[in-house]
Amino acid sequence: MQDQVFYEGIYKQGFGMIAKAVMRDQALSIEAKAIYSYLCSFAGAGQTAFPSVELILAELNISRERFYKHRKLLIEKGYIKVTQTKNEKGQQQQNIYHILNEVTPQSDFKTTDNPQSEKPQSGFPQSDNLQSENQYSISNSLTSNSLKSNNINNNSAAAENRYNQLYSELSDANKQAAEAIPIDLFQDCITNCLGNVCQLSPYQVQDLIAWEEDTNRPLVNFAIYHAGMRGARGYPLIQDILKEWSQANITELAAAVAYEQQKKNSAKRGARKNGTSERCDGRNSKKQRPSSIYG
């Protein structure tokens, strides 16, 4: 039986680890430290977070210009790295924030993200986790596995070795699929869910563990990521995705990615077909208008 820890009050929504070295860096502004602390609280025991710019601006009560100015300090000093995801048209979708253990200054970094006036379109259906849509609420009912993951995250060398070893065991198709997903697919599934999607009841923790045992960790973590990108605020959507894949006999990451891409393409074709039909109906209706009495 695994020990679990439950938090109440202000910790119920979740918490993260903040490096003391960052807080003691006198070259950082108080705004930069606030942004760093905010991102760490979303990352939980992991090293990635993806709150939207709009959410950060609202909850830190900071202007867009001020945010970009002080976020740049964190990037230049190597405390965070920003990965910008784009859609098929090359348009920016969302930012993935990486909390770095090894500091490498990036003085030549140039940001290309622009202020967003509307909700970005995700590569998966809906949601860039705007506003309260995905508060990353965490009960932090951490199992011993997630505590182990926490220790691993504190040791970057061990984490890198572990990732490389697990990655090398993937088939070529699964490796290619993994490279297209901007999260660590080998992180603890419970920690991933708690840190990025929703809080879990004891039953849901056990259910997620069972899914991992029946399938594999990368597949379950992709389901969590996919649910989060669709705006999940609770566990049911994650469970529904895993059940759907199971019914489709999907047991590998590459198959799951291909399956979801096929669904997305089918939806696009359906939308285009409906649009074409409407245009055709409009043209036909014009042809059926009564002719002039002089015609």
Encoding tokens for residue 82? 């920003």
The CATH number of the domain holding residue 76 is 1.10.10.10
Do 259 and 177 lie in one domain? The reply is: yes
Per-residue pLDDT, 121 = 34
Domain membership of residue 82 (yes or no) is: yes
Per-residue pLDDT, 25 = 93
Domain membership of residue 246 (yes or no) is: yes
- Domain C-terminal end among 50, 71, 99: 99
Please report, to the nearest 10 degrees, the dihedral formed by the alpha carbons of residues 237, 218, 142, 198 taken in order.
Answer: -20
Domain membership of residue 201 (yes or no) is: yes
Angle subtended at Cα 47 by Cα 178 and Cα 139, rounded to the nearest 5 degrees? 105
Amino acid identity, position 112: T
- Domain C-terminal end among 46, 74, 99: 99
Cβ count within 10 A of residue 85: 17
Percentage of the chain lying above the pLDDT 70 cut? 62
Per-residue pLDDT, 267 = 80
pLDDT tens per residue across span 153-165:
444 445 455 556 6
Do 254 and 173 lie in one domain? The reply is: yes
Q: Helices marked H in the chain — which ranges?
A: 20-23, 30-43, 53-60, 64-76, 144-153, 156-168, 172-179, 189-196, 202-214, 217-229, 235-247, 253-287
Domain membership of residue 35 (yes or no) is: yes
Q: How many domains does the chain have?
A: 2
pLDDT tens per residue across span 50-59:
777 877 888 8
Per-residue pLDDT, 78 = 92
- Whether residue 248 is predicted with pLDDT greater than 90 in this model: the reply is yes
Q: Report in angstroms the alpha-carbon separations of 195 from 11, 27, 295.
A: 12, 29, 71
- Whether residue 127 is predicted with pLDDT greater than 60 in this model: the reply is no
Percentage of the chain lying above the pLDDT 90 cut? 27
**Pairwise CA distance, residues 3 & 200, whole Å:** 15
Encoding tokens for residue 3? 């020990």
**Pairwise CA distance, residues 48 & 186, whole Å:** 13
Per-residue pLDDT, 252 = 92
- Whether residue 34 is predicted with pLDDT greater than 90 in this model: the reply is yes
Do 173 and 92 lie in one domain? The reply is: no
Encoding tokens for residue 2? 């695994």
Q: Give Cβ neighbours of residue 41 (< 8 Å, ≥ 6 apart).
A: 14, 15, 16
Encoding tokens for residue 100? 């770095």
Angle subtended at Cα 233 by Cα 227 and Cα 238, rounded to the nearest 5 degrees? 35
Return the higher-pLDDT residue of 168 and 292. Answer: 168
Beta bridge partners of 94: 85
Domain membership of residue 181 (yes or no) is: yes
pLDDT tens per residue across span 66-106:
999 999 999 999 999 988 776 565 655 667 888 888 887 76
Indicate the range of 68-77, 114-123, 207-216, 220-229 predicted with least confidence: 114-123
pTM over 0.75: no
Return the higher-pLDDT residue of 210 and 232. Answer: 210
**Pairwise CA distance, residues 167 & 174, whole Å:** 9
Enclosing domain of residue 209: 169-267
Per-residue pLDDT, 160 = 54
Give me the mean pLDDT over the 263-283 stretch. 69
Provide the pLDDT confidence category of residue 147 given band limits of 50, 70 and 90.
Answer: very low
Given a contact cutoff of 8 angstroms between Cβ atoms, the answer to whether 170 and 178 are in contact is: yes
Give me the mean pLDDT over the 230-253 stretch. 91
Provide the pLDDT confidence category of residue 232 given band limits of 50, 70 and 90.
Answer: confident
Per-residue pLDDT, 214 = 92
How does DSSP assign 137-150, residue by residue? -----B-HHHHHHH
**Pairwise CA distance, residues 157 & 179, whole Å:** 20
Residue 16 CA neighbour count, 13 Å, CB half: 25
Per-residue pLDDT, 253 = 92
Given a contact cutoff of 8 angstroms between Cβ atoms, the answer to whether 235 and 200 are in contact is: yes
Domain membership of residue 107 (yes or no) is: no
Domain membership of residue 182 (yes or no) is: yes
Return the higher-pLDDT residue of 13 and 144. Answer: 13
The overall average pLDDT reported for the chain is 72
Domain membership of residue 177 (yes or no) is: yes
**80-86: strand order across its sheet:** 48-49, 92-99, 80-86
Given a contact cutoff of 8 angstroms between Cβ atoms, the answer to whether 83 and 96 are in contact is: yes
Strands 92-99 and 48-49: antiparallel
pLDDT tens per residue across span 155-200:
444 545 555 666 666 788 888 888 888 888 888 888 888 877 888 8
